Amino acid sequence: MWNVMTTGSVRRVLRKCLAVFYLTTASFLSVQAQTGDTASVAGVGVELEEVTVSARRQGTILSSLTQLKTETITSSGLMKMACCSLSESFENSATVSAGYSDAISGARTIRLLGLSGMYSSMLDENIPTMRGLSATYGWSYIPAAWLESIQISKGAASVVNGYESVTGQMNLEFRKPHNSEPLFVNLYADDARHWEGNAAVALPAGRNLWAGLLLHGVSAAYVHDKNGDTFMDMPKYSTVHLYNRWFYLNEEKGIQSRTGVRYLHDRRKAGQDSACHANDGLPLFETFITNRNITVYNKTGIAVGNKEGQSVGIIGNFTRHEQASDFGKKAFDGVQTSLYLNLLFTSFVRSAAHRYTAGASLAYDRYDTEYLDSLAYNATPPTRFRCTEAVPGVFVEYTRANPAGWTLTLGLRADRNSLFGWMVTPRAHFKYDVGNYVIVRASAGRGFRSPNAIADNNRLMASSRRFETDEIPYLEMESAWNTGGSVTVYLPLQEDRRAALSIDYFHTEFQRQTVADTERDRHAVYFYNLAGRSYADAWQADLSLPLLEGFDLFAAFRYNRNKITYTGEDGARYLVDKPLVSACRGLLNLSYATRFKRWVFDATAQINGPSRMPGMNGYHSQKIYSPAFPVLFAQISKNSKRFDMYAGVENLLNKTQDNPVRGWSAPFHLDFDASLVWGPLLGRKIYCGVRIRIGEIK
Amino acid sequence: MKTIKLVIIVILCLGVGFPASAQDASKSTKKKKTEEVIFKVGMHCRNCQAKIEKNIPWEKGVKDLRVDLENQKVTVSYDPKKTTEAQLQKAIEKLDFSCEKSEDKK
């Protein structure tokens, strides 16, 4: 179609497309700037001047365009490893660390700036996702094969997306129906007889309409107990995840709309199984977990007026999540119903150098959860929590782009939470391009979050600990300030290659926080409001170095210092290192690809530093640290136009945490605890897979 | 011992890439055997560029590809024993682009 357009009509369309582009991607890009490092810009045929594309993209890119320091894990990066799920996609990133939350459920969790993933904002193409109950197991449910790229930005995010982001933001870009091949299939298997299949269908459904269907199915039906503790190393599970997408684009009228329906059903059985445990008449510690989720959304942008880039957008999202989980004699069931609406208007004052976005939003969440603990010695009554939270808010964000090379964004939003009252969220971002080779960034901002004490600490279900729930109804809204900055230096090398060296530091200081105190009493967990300091410092250095044509090196080192204040029964305060947080992480990735990536070889080495183990004898317990441990990954891929094959190994050195299920021989005893996870639970994994593309390659 | 063996196997496997690299280098010394053609192609956007980059490398005989979106030029190095300019032009046209041989020098 573009081939037959005249220059004039191209310009007209371009203006409208730009307007729609600004609007539909505004939430992430308003602060991120036009993230041209990703594969496509809304796929609308818009050519942005800054954009460059390379046929041989690196797996991880440090963008020079975005206003916040943004690490993009590209499609190449997502194919460097098995990357079955989103949580496994971060193994090549020092920014995000991922691990198992406990030794039973198989739930994965991530950390950004050393803090739990619940303090970062998760976006599905700029729509908030994985909030509340769905976050507990959600990191395992999104297959990497569905993704085009992941953008990870550290520091306070745009106010346009809401008040929740404290440590940063992660945006997922999925395969688009309008620029993907008609059929993509990914099949995967490993030596643990874990089978996985993903498919993506993309078809035109009209002149301006495209439809897409993403399918994901997993079967892990075999019991493995390599360490002989009678507990399965990983749960048996089956997952079905479907995602139907519709994309409408009318370039002449300047309308772009995306609609999606997503359905997830996951069942898992974990803990002890008669296949690996002769129960001798004793009850088994069995775990059954079921999650069901349905999500429906629409995101529409319409170019309005005559100003270039002026547009109106509306985002609507409905989610219902049901969770049922039994851990031995404990159970936690819950239903979350959420509605999110965001209306935004983007325009300029005088010129594009003075851009602003203003709007209003409504977030509605209803939780109905129940916690049961039938362990006689805990004597915990059934506890039901029901709450409804409605949060209307307004926001404005102004961006000043100065030709001298600096860009300043100031954002402010005010929200009224029906449970917690008013919240005022100011945020600021500054970027300065010092010549062509140095970029300085700084950001500061505040974030809030509603606590879900039990769902947020679901890992503790895998223990005999008594949940002291009395304080839960009195927990306050969590709030924190995040400040930080980075310096990135780009060093030109031969031809068009360049190395990137970046150093950043971020500090998160909590004003209010829900403390889950597991150290006052080894047999209990106490939930209460923070009294005293809680903070996290994160330093990181990254080096991206294309050594030779096709041969890339990525190295990173991160250091964290996390402190939290516990309050004893007598009111005394104890400022301690946050338990189970690794103090440092080093990463080295070497990647070599022959011309056109016909062969790709990847090797990654991680070294994970020690973590402080929770004190088992009160706040004055002797400090015990987990050992540092390395993890090695390697993969070989043979690619062609329509068919790729890959094979690899994870955790090559077969390092695993010793005794992850404490007290496994008496799982209903007081001392049973499978929540103290600091390292890998699975040993070496050998895997292989294929990717097949059918139809026109776009 | 088993672990050491595995490490050695992986290193050897990774080593396969370097001979391949050496092959690429040796190919460059044998450039006499490849020819180069420049096409003027009706590309308008990054998606057009991506489409060329995803398809043309896999055509028989293609040894190298450079896409210059700004000047709408596609430079293809190819093995004349395996393909011809006409076949390459046809392959680009098959992707719904206008395509004609450019007389421009590199």
Which residue is it, tokens 């196997």?
Answer: B9
Distance between CA atoms of A137 and A664, rounded to whole angstroms?
23
Closest Cβ–Cβ partner in A3, A46, A53 for B50: A53
Question: Would you list the DSSP string of A27-83?
Answer: HHHHHH---TTSS-STTTT---TT----SS--SEEE-SS-SS-EEEE-HHHHTSS--
Distance between CA atoms of A102 and A660, rounded to whole angstroms?
8
Distance between CA atoms of A454 and A105, rounded to whole angstroms?
15
My answer on whether B59 and B14 are in the same domain is no
My answer on whether B8 and B38 are in the same domain is no
Residue B75 at interface with chain A, using a CB cutoff of 8 Å: no
- Give the pLDDT score at A469: 87
Q: How many CB pairs under 8 A join A and B?
A: 91
Please return the burial class of A577, using the count of CB atoms within 10 Å of its CB with bins 0-12, 13-18 and 19+. middle
List, in sequence order, every residue forming a beta bridge with A294; answer none if it has no partner: A263, A320
Residue B47 at interface with chain A, using a CB cutoff of 8 Å: yes
Residue B64 at interface with chain A, using a CB cutoff of 8 Å: yes
Distance between CA atoms of A604 and A585, rounded to whole angstroms?
13
Q: Is there a contact between A521 and A544 (Cβ–Cβ < 8 Å)?
A: no
Q: Which residues contact A434 (CB under 8 A, 6 or more apart)?
A: A405, A440
Those residues of chain A that have pLDDT short of 70 are 1-58, 83, 279
**Domain of residue B67, CATH code:** 3.30.70.100
Closest alpha carbon within chain B to A6: B44
My answer on whether B16 and B42 are in the same domain is no
Report the gap between the CA of B17 and the closest CA in chain A (Å). 7
Distance between CA atoms of A312 and A320, rounded to whole angstroms?
27
Contacts with B16 from chain A: Cβ below 8 Å = 599, 601, 636
- Give the pLDDT score at A53: 37
Residue A47 to residue B45, Cβ atoms within 8 A: yes
Q: What are phi and psi of A325, to 5 degrees?
A: -140, 135
Report the gap between the CA of A630 and the closest CA in chain B (Å). 14
Residue B54 to residue A636, Cβ atoms within 8 A: no
Report the candidate in A505, A481, A678, A655 with the shortest Cα–Cα distance to residue A579. A678
3-class secondary structure, A144: helix
- Give the pLDDT score at A57: 58
Tokens for A645, please give them: 């094959």
My answer on whether B101 and B66 are in the same domain is yes
Report the candidate in A67, A95, A115, A150 with the shortest Cα–Cα distance to residue A427. A67
Distance between CA atoms of B31 and B8, rounded to whole angstroms?
35
Q: What is the pLDDT of residues B23-41, one digit of tens each?
A: 444 444 444 588 999 999 9
Question: Residue B21: which pLDDT band, with cuts at 50, 70 and 90?
Answer: very low
- Give the pLDDT score at A93: 84
Closest alpha carbon within chain A to B41: A3
My answer on whether B22 and B73 are in the same domain is no
Residue A594 to residue B16, Cβ atoms within 8 A: no
Distance between CA atoms of A554 and A669, rounded to whole angstroms?
47
Inter-axis angle of helices B17-29 and B2-15, nearest 10: 10
Number of domains in chain B: 2
Residue B3 sits in which domain range?
A: 1-29
Distance between CA atoms of A208 and A634, rounded to whole angstroms?
43
Domain ranges of chain A: 13-694
| Pairing mode of beta strands A514-517, A524-529 | antiparallel
My answer on whether B101 and B63 are in the same domain is yes
According to DSSP, residue A284 is labeled: P
- Give the pLDDT score at B105: 58
C-alpha distance from residue A58 to each of A66, A492, B47 (Å) = 17, 16, 19
Report the gap between the CA of A121 and the closest CA in chain B (Å). 29
Report the gap between the CA of A14 and the closest CA in chain B (Å). 11
Distance between CA atoms of B95 and B56, rounded to whole angstroms?
9
| Pairing mode of beta strands A524-529, A466-468 | parallel
My answer on whether B19 and B68 are in the same domain is no
Tell me which H or E stretch contains B49: helix B46-55
Most A-contacting residue of B2, B4, B13 (CB-CB within 10 A), to test interface:
B13
Residue B45 at interface with chain A, using a CB cutoff of 8 Å: yes
Report the gap between the CA of A297 and the closest CA in chain B (Å). 26
Most A-contacting residue of B7, B27, B34, B46 (CB-CB within 10 A), to test interface:
B46
ipTM: 0.70
Distance between CA atoms of A145 and A186, rounded to whole angstroms?
7
Looking at domain A13-694, its CATH superfamily turns out to be: TonB-dependent receptor, beta-barrel domain (2.40.170.20)
Distance between CA atoms of A320 and A458, rounded to whole angstroms?
19
C-alpha distance from residue A253 to each of A59, A348, A390, A603 (Å) = 37, 20, 35, 48
Residue B76 at interface with chain A, using a CB cutoff of 8 Å: no
Closest Cβ–Cβ partner in A45, A601, A636 for B45: A45
Residue B67 to residue A55, Cβ atoms within 8 A: yes
Which residue is it, tokens 């895997």?
Answer: A687
Tokens for A382, please give them: 């059934």
My answer on whether B97 and B56 are in the same domain is yes
Report the candidate in A367, A28, A327, A36 with the shortest Cα–Cα distance to residue A170. A28
Report the candidate in A560, A672, A666 with the shortest Cα–Cα distance to residue A608. A560
